[in-house]
Amino acid sequence: MSGQTGNLNGVILEGGNPFEAPRSRPYPLPPLEVTIPSVIYADACRELGYHPFPQPAGILSQAYQDRWGNVRSGCLYCGFCTRYGCEVDAKSMPVNTHIPPALRTGRYEIRAHSKVIRVNLGPGGRATGVTYIDEQGQEQEQPADVVVLSGFTFTNVRMLLLSRSDDHPGGIGNDQGLVGKNYTYQHWHGVSTGLFEGRRFNLYMGNTSTQNVIFDFQADVFDHSDLDFVGGGMLFSTLGERDPLASVGSLPVTDEGGKNWGQGWKDYLRQNWDSVATIVFQGESLPYEDQFLDLDPVYKAADGQPLLRLTFDWHQNDYNMYRFIAQRADEIMKQMGPTRQKTTKELDPYNIHKYQSTHPTGGAIMGTDPGNSVTNKYGQVWDTPNVFVTGAALYPQNPGVNPTGTLAPLAYMAAEAIRDRFFRNPDRILV
């Protein structure tokens, strides 16, 4: 991790996040460089009394050797980061962090181009392994003493619901009807965009995390006494790298008709794409009874099994929270001094066709007992003790930050519990 510690053993340090919980030691590496718009953003935030800091990231700011012996280079700020691989392995991904040392043990096998279609259940409702479709399209069975569902949120929930037997007619973990519940999304909106005519920001350089951020409007950091919502989130400047086409939808329009098409628009885009800054809001999403995941009664996947169905929309708390945050973003952008500015002051109804975030959580939540959750704190399924779930499906709530920072240590905790404690008594729920 690269970043600037803000709270070291209770001591607030300059340049970091003053609102973070105490850390026992600093980040392993210093923070990444930030872009020009991010510098302007941080200056404007300080002038308004806020507390900007460089966002910590799983991207190496310098060369680094991890505890498994992997040696990786620092970031080159090449500009091809978001949704790309990394040619120098500076961006932390399983393929350059965990998989290489796992392969070196000789006890880890990857079966590429294969897809698990269900967890197999035996007498008493225990898992006996999985059925998967191999590279040739043939069904295969893999016996197992313990099964770990470690896919994406939607994949894990769908697999639990598809894996049924007489003992678990509604699927694994669903004896109390809780699988699919507590689904939450996350707000991710480009709220305010400014055009700085005549300036060049070199937006073709950078990485996906070269940005400054403020936590002044996170959760309980600020006073909600006179507000009509609970929760909050973070505001940050434009993601670290941006190509010309990525600017098409965000440049403030120039003519009275508000057109963002035609030759005039193309010329305008060509001239100004590298002169744009956007303030983004990433906010928390609360769970509601009427938003959930279940199996679709009509549509099926290529394997013939039901697709997962999402039932979700924003609630009044979301609209009120966004309206408040949009006002703050508008004020910060004005302070940045653009020549033109566009702020979206109201939240549109949820629409899955427009990409907003890949941070969905919930559906197989952890908890204290089978009456309020699908798993215990280790991700062990209450009604099927030899099945574990890892990933963001475990989250009962979705805060206004990336879920990854908590997801990884939860997976470590589950792995250690399986290795050190589960096999001593495979029928027992861990406590």
**DSSP 8-state code for residue 102:** H
Place of tokens 């973003």: 329
Neighbours of 156 (CB within 10 A): 25
CB 236 within 8 A of CB 211: yes
Q: How far apart are CA 348 and CA 351, in angstroms?
A: 8
- Residues near 410 by Cβ (< 8 Å), separated by ≥ 6? 379, 390, 394
CB 274 within 8 A of CB 200: yes
Q: What are the tokens at 345?
A: 């002051």
Rg (CA), the chain: 24
Nearest-10 crossing angle of helices 36-47, 316-336: 100
**Strands 233-236 and 212-214, how do they pair?**
antiparallel
Nearest to 388 by CA among 130, 118, 148, 159: 148
SS3 of 194, please? strand
Phi/psi for 71 (5° steps) reads -110, 125
Q: CA torsion 372→374→378→383, rounded to 10°? A: 110
Catalytic positions are 359
Amino acid at 132: Y
* 416-422: Cβ within 8 A, 24+ apart: 417/378, 417/380, 418/146, 418/148, 418/378, 418/388, 422/146, 422/380, 422/386
Q: How far apart are CA 272 and CA 295, in angstroms?
A: 46
Q: How far is CA 67 from CA 27, 35, 58, 404, in A?
A: 15, 31, 15, 20
Phi/psi for 164 (5° steps) reads -120, 160
Neighbours of 87 (CB within 10 A): 11
Q: What are the tokens at 262?
A: 């035609």
Q: How far apart are CA 69 and CA 365, in angstroms?
A: 34
Which helix (H) or strand (E) is 281 found in, with range?
strand 276-283
CB 262 within 8 A of CB 170: no
